[in-house]
Structure 1
Amino acid sequence: MERLFVCYPKCTTCQKAERWLKEHGISAEVRNIKEQNPSQEELTQWYRTSGLPLRKFFNTSGIAYREQELSKKLPDMSEEQQLALLSTDGMLVKRPILTDGKTVLVGFREKEWEEALLK
């Protein structure tokens, strides 16, 4: 599977991550998360593959997250309900996401990306 880079082009963190990929000669299909939100199936697969807690997939600093008061609601929601909610709005999803099917990186932390992609 080719790498998939799911991002929001106006997001400065996504821009930094995309620049980093180019600087390191790493190619990936770019997908705008606002125009093509990840499906519940994709999110479920990425969540399970990543080994990360589900809350790491939420853009907790985003306006949509705050407006819906999700910090109060998520603890009472099942994993399936949370994944369904994430699939309704790309702005709720932490970005960027980079995956090749075996590895899933959520958010851009340069050291983490170096360890995962430049070994």
Structure 2
Amino acid sequence: MTANLYGIPTCDTVRKARKWLTDNGIDHQFIDVRENTPPKSQIDHWVASLGAAKMVNKRSTTWKNLSDAHRAEAETGDTTAVLLANPTLIKRPVLEYGNVLDVGFSVDAYTHHFQ
């Protein structure tokens, strides 16, 4: 089974996750969300499963440049629409592997997911 890893290639956390997957022989595909934004249905699933708070990257430059109205929409309104319009707001990396859906990277979590 192939793991799908979503993010942007310049993100340090994404780089760490990709390196860990490669170093541990995990078959994976990297999807750059800037070039291949996931479809609405997929982002809807992520938000419904993990919650808006976990899916929105509030440390990103994009977040800092959003208007207050768009920030409010991302937090309590149509989070998916805001993420579709601003894919760099998606917290990263997003890992999909079988029944696993996770955001961020930690060695412990990835070791658990792939044992």
TM-score (norm 1): 0.82
- Report what 2:94 is aligned to: 97
Partner amino acid, structure 2, of 1:56: K
Instruction: Give me the CA root mean square deviation.
Output: 2.1
2:47·2:80 contact (CA, 8 Å) conserved in 1? no
- Report what 1:68 is aligned to: 66
22-31 or 69-78, larger mean C-alpha shift: 69-78
Structure 2 unmatched runs, 5+? none
SS at match of 1:87: helix
2:7·2:93 contact (CA, 8 Å) conserved in 1? yes
1:40·1:86 contact (CA, 8 Å) conserved in 2? no
Q: Is 2:104 the partner of 1:107?
A: yes
Where in structure 1 do 4 or more consecutive aligned residues deviate above 2 Å? 69-72, 74-78
1:62·1:92 contact (CA, 8 Å) conserved in 2? yes
- Report what 2:43 is aligned to: 43
Q: How many residue pairs are counted as aligned between the two chains? A: 114
- Report what 1:86 is aligned to: 83
Aligned-residue offset at 1:107: 0.9
1:37·1:88 contact (CA, 8 Å) conserved in 2? no
Aligned-residue offset at 1:72: 5.3
For residues 14 and 94 of structure 1, what CA distance do their matches in structure 2 show? 10
Q: Is 2:51 the partner of 1:53?
A: yes
1:7·1:14 contact (CA, 8 Å) conserved in 2? yes
For residues 84 and 75 of structure 2, what CA distance do their matches in structure 1 show? 18
- Report what 2:4 is aligned to: 4
Aligned-residue offset at 1:54: 1.8
With over 3 angstroms needed to count, the CA separation of the structure-2 counterparts of 1:10 and 1:75, relative to structure 1, is closer
Structure 1 unmatched runs, 5+? none
